[in-house]
Structure 1
Amino acid sequence: MSKKTKADDQQASIFEALSFEAAMTELESLVAQIESGQLPLEQSLAAYKRGSELVQHCQQSLADVEQQVRILTESNQLQPYNDTK
């Protein structure tokens, strides 16, 4: 099991404020920049890293919504999903 660092906590809080739609928009922009081939190597690497983080954020957002849908389906009432990680 890995330990959470202060940097991990800061990164998580940054992403908590980022909506799924905003993350997808940023991700699409990064992909376009990388595919253009105009970024220097260091910037391409940074863009790739940020893109990977955005993908993880989007995947987690989708998983959370899927869990909410499961709760709704089971009880016929939408209940807030509390992430207990």
Structure 2
Amino acid sequence: MRRKLSTITNGRQKAFIYTCALVGLTVYGVPKMPPLTHGLSGTFTASWLLFVALCVGANLYFLFGADKERKRLLEEQEVSVASTEEPLHQQRVRA
């Protein structure tokens, strides 16, 4: 089953704005976080930082156009598979 790839309007602009907002949130929030120690507060800090890193990474991935490159590669693969297949009337039936 093929993944649907749709075009998002103003996608790069949105990704840039979201990345800037996340960086601003991080700059504002990190000094107010509890220190990374054992316990509930340290676990919260670590999970919050990992979540922010994941969000920034996803936005940068989209911002640099990795999805467009992947879409192009999938289309090339689909074309090459279609060109190597024989038409239905020329395929041999084996018993």
User: Normalising by the residue count of structure 2, what TM-score does the alignment of the two structures yield?
Assistant: 0.39
User: Normalising by the residue count of structure 1, what TM-score does the alignment of the two structures yield?
Assistant: 0.43
Q: Which has the higher contact order (CA 8 A, sep 6+)?
A: 2
